[in-house]
């Protein structure tokens, strides 16, 4: 089985398409979901969290317009599947996750797949990862109710942030936020449903 490009007309960037086809999603799925690799849907990864829908992972990656030289911050490592896209398409990836065992598992898988440009931190995504800021791109894969200020501050001039915003059990909007001359350009992209961005570290 393989992904069919005619069903993903929104993926126009060949590098993103290649990433989708090269990253073995199966490796990021638990035992019970091994046969669902090509199901274009989110699937459980434990701790009440999910691995995102592949077409959406690819589309969100495309929205960051990565060329290969970027430093990227990711909030919500989860299974590590999205992290692999970023690691393939950017230079360095800094990924923050609040649930320790989830990130430990993701780290092991990503290491076994040979990625050496990923840096891991257990922490609260609301704070970003100050130490390595500014970032050329920021990918957020859990939904806060408002765009966290620290993430705006840590976005480089000319940088792009892709982030779902909205309450947990309601409609969320995916935005691409671009920082131009210190000002924010906020483009609404589409409706999405992500797990909430947890306010307090468990």
Binding stretches for ligand SAH (CB under 6 A):
49-52, 57, 75-76, 78-79, 81-82, 96-99, 102, 124-126, 141-142, 195, 197-198
C-alpha 160/C-alpha 120 separation (Å) is 21
Q: Compute the least distance from the CB of residue 35 to ligand SAH, in Å.
A: 18
| CB-facing half-sphere around the CA of 1: CA atoms within 13 A | 10
Measured at CB, which residue is nearest to ligand SAH?
78
| CB-facing half-sphere around the CA of 99: CA atoms within 13 A | 18
Q: Compute the least distance from the CB of residue 138 to ligand SAH, in Å.
A: 12
Residue placing its CB nearer to ligand SAH in the complex, 62 or 82: 82
Residue placing its CB nearer to ligand SAH in the complex, 70 or 82: 82
Residue placing its CB nearer to ligand SAH in the complex, 78 or 159: 78
122 has which bridge partners?
Answer: 97
Q: Give Cβ neighbours of residue 94 (< 8 Å, ≥ 6 apart).
A: 71, 72, 73, 74, 119, 121, 129, 132, 135
Q: Compute the least distance from the CB of residue 163 to ligand SAH, in Å.
A: 12
Residue placing its CB nearer to ligand SAH in the complex, 158 or 167: 167
Longest dimension (CA), the chain: 48
Catalytic residue among 22, 52, 55, 112: 52
- Is residue 52 part of the annotated active site? The answer reads yes
C-alpha 74/C-alpha 39 separation (Å) is 24
C-alpha 27/C-alpha 105 separation (Å) is 11
Q: Compute the least distance from the CB of residue 180 to ligand SAH, in Å.
A: 27
Hey, which residues are catalytic here?
Answer: 52
């Amino acid at each position: 089985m393989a992904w069919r490009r005619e069903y993903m007309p929104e993926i126009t960037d060949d590098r993103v398409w290649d990433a989708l086809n090269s990253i073995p999603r199966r490796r990021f799925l638990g035992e019970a979901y091994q046969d669902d690799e090509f199901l274009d849907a989110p699937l459980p990864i434990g701790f009440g969290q999910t691995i995102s829908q592949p077409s959406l992972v690819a589309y969100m990656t495309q929205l960051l317009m990565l060329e290969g030289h970027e430093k990227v911050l990711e909030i919500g490592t989860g299974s590590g599947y999205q992290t692999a896209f970023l690691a393939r398409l950017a230079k360095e990836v800094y990924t923050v996750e609040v649930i320790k065992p989830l990130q430990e598992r993701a780290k092991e898988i990503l290491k076994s797949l040979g990625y050496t440009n990923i840096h891991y931190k257990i922490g609260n995504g609301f704070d970003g990862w100050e130490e390595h800021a500014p970032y050329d791109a920021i990918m957020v894969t859990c939904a806060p109710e408002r765009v966290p200020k620290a993430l705006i501050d840590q976005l480089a001039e000319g940088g792009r942030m892709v982030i779902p915003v909205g309450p947990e059990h309601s409609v969320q909007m995916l935005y691409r936020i671009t920082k131009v001359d210190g000002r924010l350009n906020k483009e609404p992209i589409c409706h999405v449903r992500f797990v909430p961005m947890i306010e307090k570290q468990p």
